[in-house]
């Protein structure tokens, strides 16, 4: 509920520029000044407006920070440039802070939006990590339950033999060797794919664990920020208590000053009385001499005079005692004043140490924010690496499926060759060609397997 609307075209665009402008205004030694009490009234007005808008925390913190910095630089008199920092200007500051918090300009404010101020105030120090969804991929060791239903091989792998006429041993040997080469190559590729699938599963589990660790670290950072906020509030309360103690000490100092003035007045009175007593003493001595001269003639009055003399001596003694008591009281008050000054100095030093602790605690959340930002960047990099690994996994999966199809085709071809190599039941057909062509076949197959194993080891070493 502002009594006046903020002026348009104010000399600032963001909270950072506003703080810079306030520092320049404080360092200015010209123009009228605003006392701390008047600035506190402006601060209270801004806080009432924050209650109306609902943005209590940010508005209270911003305006409170301005007031604290001004009062710290000039405790007695806050020097203000009249063209920059007026009551209307402070109300415009409050309106600007509310607009920056909600991301929209206030009505009739004449202020332009500044994205930097919006991002600065809306940043809460929290980083949300997206959850990682694990996709289930079939194990490379799993085989289909029914291979007949997935028998979608191509006809490129069917053995091409002459359609008519007898088959020569060389033709059958070439087909068997080619089939064995392709089968061994398939077995090698299948083993490599199994190893790669295992590595990808390990990498995926490590990525999931890293994501969980990042979530725990984020929660721990949020708890630390909350603890720092609580410590900051307790330090603010301690500072307020110290200010109250300082005011009470100043009041007691004024009381001591007044007592000292009264003691000085009493000292003057004592001096005056001592002077009067000295004069009375001289007069008494004169009277005594006169009485000595008249003693012979006035013996009757001698006793009266001696009694009067004794009374005067007693009065003098009492006055001297009073003077000594006043001097001792003055010394005691001086000692108390000295103790008060030492206590005041100790409180000042304690306040300075508390302010240093407060500044260090205010700088710590900024470092935590930077640490959280770096962890977010590292998490984004791990996420990109996970996406690339998933793409590689999909490509390897497709290659695995193609190799499985090739394996089924190889099985068909081998069955076909076995039927061709087997002798007929009635003794006709190949006339024992199958038994002849199988001689030495196992030895050649073993040598070829060894060769393929050596090639696979060479590929792995590369």
Domain C-terminal end among 93, 122, 151? 122
Residues in the chain: 462
Give domain status of residue 421, yes or no. Answer: yes
The domain of 447 spans: 162-225+375-461
281 and 220 in a single domain? The answer is no
Give domain status of residue 301, yes or no. Answer: yes
237 and 339 in a single domain? The answer is yes
Give domain status of residue 364, yes or no. Answer: no
Asked whether residue 432 carries a pLDDT value surpassing 80, the answer given is: no
Mean pLDDT, range 330-341, rounded to an integer: 77
344 and 311 in a single domain? The answer is yes
DSSP string, 255-321: HHHHHHHHHHHHHHHHHHHHHHHHHHHHHHHHHHHHHHHHTTT-GGGHHHHHHHHHHHHHHHHHHHH
Give domain status of residue 127, yes or no. Answer: no
Domain C-terminal end among 96, 122, 148? 122
Give domain status of residue 135, yes or no. Answer: no
Give domain status of residue 86, yes or no. Answer: yes
323 and 387 in a single domain? The answer is no
261 and 329 in a single domain? The answer is yes
Helix (H) or strand (E) holding 42: helix 36-53
341 and 259 in a single domain? The answer is yes
Work out the angle at residue 80's Cα, subtended by the Cα atoms of residues 76 and 82, and round it to the nearest 5 degrees: 145
Tell me the pTM: 0.20
Asked whether residue 346 carries a pLDDT value surpassing 70, the answer given is: yes
Mean pLDDT, range 335-360, rounded to an integer: 79
58 and 97 in a single domain? The answer is yes
Give domain status of residue 3, yes or no. Answer: no
217 and 238 in a single domain? The answer is no
Mean pLDDT, range 423-442, rounded to an integer: 47
Give domain status of residue 144, yes or no. Answer: no
Please report where in the chains the tokens 């002798």 appear, as a residue: 423
User: Do 200 and 135 contact (CB within 8 A), yes or no?
Assistant: no
Question: Considering its fold, how many domains does the chain have in total?
Answer: 3
176 and 89 in a single domain? The answer is no
Q: Tell me: the pLDDT tens digits for 232-272?
A: 999 999 999 999 989 989 898 899 888 889 889 988 899 89
How far apart CA 262 and CA 335 sit, in angstroms, is 16
Work out the mean pLDDT of the chain and round it to a whole number: 67
User: Do 153 and 412 contact (CB within 8 A), yes or no?
Assistant: yes
């Amino acid at each position: 509920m502002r009594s006046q609307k903020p002026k348009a075209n104010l000399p600032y665009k963001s909270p950072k520029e506003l703080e810079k402008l306030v520092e320049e205004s404080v360092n200015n030694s010209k123009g009228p000044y605003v006392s701390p009490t008047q600035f506190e009234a402006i601060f209270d007005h801004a806080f009432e407006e924050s209650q109306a808008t609902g943005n209590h925390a940010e508005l209270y913190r911003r305006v409170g920070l301005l007031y604290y910095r001004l009062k710290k630089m000039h405790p007695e008199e806050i020097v203000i440039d009249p063209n920059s920092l007026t009551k209307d200007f402070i109300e415009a500051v409050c309106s600007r802070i509310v607009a920056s918090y909600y991301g929209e300009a206030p009505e009739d404010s004449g202020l332009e939006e500044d994205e930097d101020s919006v991002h600065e105030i809306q940043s809460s120090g929290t980083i949300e990590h997206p959850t990682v969804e694990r996709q289930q991929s079939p194990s490379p060791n799993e085989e289909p339950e029914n291979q007949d239903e997935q028998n979608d091989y191509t006809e490129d792998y069917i053995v091409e033999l002459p359609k008519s006429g007898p088959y020569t041993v060389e033709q059958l040997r070439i087909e068997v060797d080619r089939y064995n080469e392709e089968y061994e190559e398939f077995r090698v590729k299948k083993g490599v794919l199994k190893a790669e699938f295992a590595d990808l599963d390990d990498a995926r589990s490590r990525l999931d664990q890293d994501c969980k660790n990042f979530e725990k670290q984020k929660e721990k950072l949020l708890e630390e920020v909350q603890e720092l906020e609580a410590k900051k509030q307790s330090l603010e309360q301690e500072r307020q208590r110290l200010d109250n103690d300082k005011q009470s000490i100043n009041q007691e100092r004024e009381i001591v000053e007044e007592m000292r003035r009264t003691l000085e007045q009493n000292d003057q009175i004592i001096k005056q009385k001592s002077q009067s007593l000295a004069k009375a003493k001289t007069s008494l001595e004169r009277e005594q001499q006169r009485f000595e001269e008249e003693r012979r003639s006035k013996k009757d009055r001698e006793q009266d005079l001696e009694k009067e003399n004794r009374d005067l001596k007693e009065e003098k003694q009492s006055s001297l005692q009073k003077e000594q008591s006043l001097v001792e009281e003055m010394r005691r008050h001086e000692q108390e004043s000295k103790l008060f000054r030492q206590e005041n100095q100790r409180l000042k030093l304690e306040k300075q140490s508390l302010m240093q602790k407060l500044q260090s605690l205010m700088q710590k959340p900024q470092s935590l924010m930077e640490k959280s930002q770096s962890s977010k960047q590292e998490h984004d990099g791990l996420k990109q690496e996970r996406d690339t690994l998933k793409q590689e996994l999909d490509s390897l999966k497709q290659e695995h499926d193609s190799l499985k199809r090739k394996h089924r085709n190889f099985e068909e071809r081998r069955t076909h060759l076995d039927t061709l190599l087997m002798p007929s039941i009635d003794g006709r057909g190949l006339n024992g060609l199958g038994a002849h062509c199988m001689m030495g076949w196992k030895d050649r197959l073993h040598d070829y397997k060894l060769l393929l194993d050596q090639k696979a080891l060479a590929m792995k070493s590369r």
